[in-house]
A = this chain, B = another copy of it.
């Protein structure tokens, strides 16, 4: 089974040296008192909970899965419920929630590292509290005062959890096809009827109530996406005093048996005229839902980072321990029967790939969380608008790129273990299975790619790209004084120019043929991801050079940052070259084959 140790040193690097969190908090209202000392205390406590309480339950959940009892209740794996109670008692659910609902009002950039630790230790477990965030954000942003009064405090405290009920068997990506019905009743509420599939944490025994956020269609609403409304449908209907009153007419019809994340319950949910509360306006459900879709997409990006980190940690331990063959450049462990396999260049290639994706991904997603802080807390409307823009641009890239590279890292982890990796007991094959869902839910990689290239970049005639490329070119300009940085900067300037001209080319091609977008989109989002990770690594190298120059007792740590940046630029970033080449060949090689002639 895998083990997890929170990478507190690297987290501190990203927060202090790279993103200057203290300075960032000083610029935000009500955050001035957040300093590194406070952060260290919080992260230290969170790391203990992740390493000691939920980490050891990761394999337990994979083995046991969830069990459906005869009365339709779902029993989670041994220890899950007790761990959740500890989590609630520790006040963790409310950490980055508003004070007027009992929250601790810390910025989301503090909540994120904690979710990272929980998720890396045990992704399946972390999805139970994780899904609540979307529910809270939706109610907080679009709900009436009545809804807030009924649901926010119990969700913030963690006594209740939330879900998202979107997908139906015949529609996932294309929510316009959904059929679940909502009818208004005399008391201003709604009766919800229909079936939802793939509802994560849809039913479980961790919390006393479960608050479902459900997409449904009102009578006589427009077909397609314009006729969809959003509802809160709780498992138990709360009384006016907040007590749990009546059991609602909804139930878990079945648990899905799936490739991974066995510890989380993936439910078929049946709503049989269940009582629901409208959120926001009628027929605006899909718009309202994007609030939590964006959040969920960042959270899924975090999952990619989590699996990369877990793969890296466990691969490193194994490859330092496993003795097999001699180094080609002469024995490194002459007293032993063979050398540890970490001496072999190809094993190091795998480890450094994992490290570059995990640590670089951390830099990327923590940066995104600072934009989230600005968006939710800043009193400067211009700053908020820019942050909103940057976050909208980064979200599909983070979701797609980090889950793809997280899966690659998990697979390399299995490869480092050789045949042993294929056996359940080591836990690295579980990491591969768990990671695989990341590229599917909350919109597949293909959907993220269309969102980025079609909607955000080409939909603004390329304007959405400008703040990001300006940021990169500005970074390059500011870093030019440091001689060691020049090779990185040269590459980044070239890639940024290629990014812009490529975007123009696809834009022109798409005017003639809309399929030019879909033909390039996945290559484009991966290309974008590699560049952004390149920026993260160049910035990390710059921060490390600066600290080394200032003098530090942790020279080895900072040297390793620079060496990883060198590895990334030499061995990973060149993937952009092939992507540019394949994008240049346009849609024809994909579209000419007749649909009926793929197979004979």
Contact = CB atoms under 8 A, between A and B. Distances in A.
Interface of A: 7, 9-10, 167, 170-174, 177, 198, 256-260, 312-313, 316, 320, 323-325, 327-330, 337-338, 340, 342-349, 351-352, 355, 411, 414-415, 418-425, 429, 432-433, 436-437, 439-441, 444-446, 449-450, 454, 513-515, 517-519, 521-522, 554, 556-557, 559-560, 563-564, 566-567, 570-572, 574-578, 581-582, 585, 587, 589-595, 597-600
Contacts of A556: 594, 597, 600
B258 A345 contact: no
Copies in the complex: 2
A177 B326 CA distance: 12
A509 to B, nearest CB: 12
Nearest to A575: B578
20 contacts: A171-B324, A172-B419, A173-B418, A174-B325, A174-B338, A177-B338, A258-B424, A259-B433, A316-B598, A328-B515, A328-B518, A329-B513, A346-B450, A422-B440, A556-B600, A557-B600, A560-B593, A563-B589, A567-B590, A567-B593
Nearest to A521: B346
A173 B339 CA distance: 12
B595 A346 contact: no
A84 B317 CA distance: 43
Given A418-B444, A589-B566, A590-B571, A325 B515 contact: no
Q: Which of A327, A441, A567, A593 has the most CB of B within 10 A?
A: A593
Contact of A345 (B257, B423, B591): B591
A338 B352 CA distance: 44
Contacts of A415: 439-440, 444-446
A174 B445 contact: no
A589 B592 CA distance: 42
A355 B598 contact: yes
Contacts of A174: 323-325, 338
Contacts of A429: 258-259, 436
A566 B587 CA distance: 12
A254 to B, nearest CB: 11
A113 B215 CA distance: 50
Contact of A313 (B324, B591, B599): B599
Contact of A446 (B347, B355, B422): B347
A181 B597 CA distance: 58
A348 B597 CA distance: 12
Given A345-B587, A348-B590, 15 more contacts: A167-B419, A171-B324, A257-B423, A327-B515, A328-B517, A348-B593, A352-B593, A414-B436, A415-B446, A418-B444, A422-B436, A429-B436, A557-B597, A574-B582, A577-B577
Contact of A316 (B587, B592, B599): B599
B597 A559 contact: yes
A338 to B, nearest CB: 6
Contact of A563 (B439, B513, B593): B593
Nearest to A595: B342
A595 B340 CA distance: 10
Contacts of A513: 329
Contacts of A260: 422
A172 B424 contact: no
A191 B55 CA distance: 46
Given A418-B172, A515-B345, A590-B571, A598 B328 contact: no
A233 B521 CA distance: 57
Which of A329, A411, A432, A556 has the most chain B CB atoms inside 10 A of its CB?
Answer: A329
Q: Which of A171, A337, A433, A599 has the most CB of B within 10 A?
A: A599
Interface centre among A323, A429, A440, A589 (most CB of B within 10 A): A589
A338 B171 CA distance: 10
A93 B158 CA distance: 62
A345 B419 contact: no
A63 to B, nearest CB: 9
A440 B424 contact: no
The 3 lowest CB-CB distance pairs between A and B, nearest first, are A345-B518, A574-B581, A570-B585
A197 B220 CA distance: 65
Nearest to A177: B337
A435 to B, nearest CB: 11
Contacts of A593: 348, 352, 560, 563-564, 567
Nearest to A256: B423
Contacts of A327: 515
Given A173-B325, A325-B174, A570-B585, A560 B597 contact: yes
Contacts of A590: 345, 348-349, 352, 567, 571
Nearest to A440: B419
Nearest to A167: B419
A589 B415 CA distance: 20
A173 B10 CA distance: 34
Contacts of A325: 173-174
A345 B510 CA distance: 13
Given A258-B422, A346-B446, A570 B582 contact: yes
A422 B437 contact: yes
A559 to B, nearest CB: 7
Given A593-B560, A595-B342, A422 B574 contact: no
